[in-house]
Amino acid sequence: MIGYTTLGVTNLDAAKTFYTKLLDAEVLLDVGRLAMIGKDMAEPKIAVCEPFDGNAPSVGNGSMTAIPGGSREGADKLYHKAIELGATCDGAPGSRIEGAFYGAYVRDPDGNKLCFFDFS
């Protein structure tokens, strides 16, 4: 089970705003250069941080954070909300594995890849 995923960002305040609004969540822990965002510390979270080594954040090739939409409509809603909040499309909502997987892909303002999905 995943406890949290950490995403490197260039503007911590902007990232906290993006993810709290996108996920209808809150900052659960803020230690200056890193913030945990979620609904409860016992549930999976997203952490946004300024990299510890002081270098610019970078996006991992092949790395992606997948966030359940709860339904196809929920995945669509998260996708459109992310776009409204400044994300860019990285794959419009649609069936990826016919009858088994539905996904919608974006890049957050720092280029981190997100997938909003539903298994149906």
**Pairing state between β 26-30 and 34-38:** antiparallel
Measured in Å, how far apart are the chain's first and last C-alpha atoms?
A: 21
Torsion of CA 79, 19, 59, 50, to 10 degrees: 170
Mean pLDDT by 10 residues, the chain (120 residues): 91 98 98 96 95 89 93 97 98 89 96 94
8 three-state secondary structure? strand
Q: What is the pLDDT of residue 82?
A: 98
User: Helix, strand, coil proportions of the chain in percent (round to 5)?
Assistant: 20, 40, 40
The DSSP bridge partners found for residue 104 are: 116
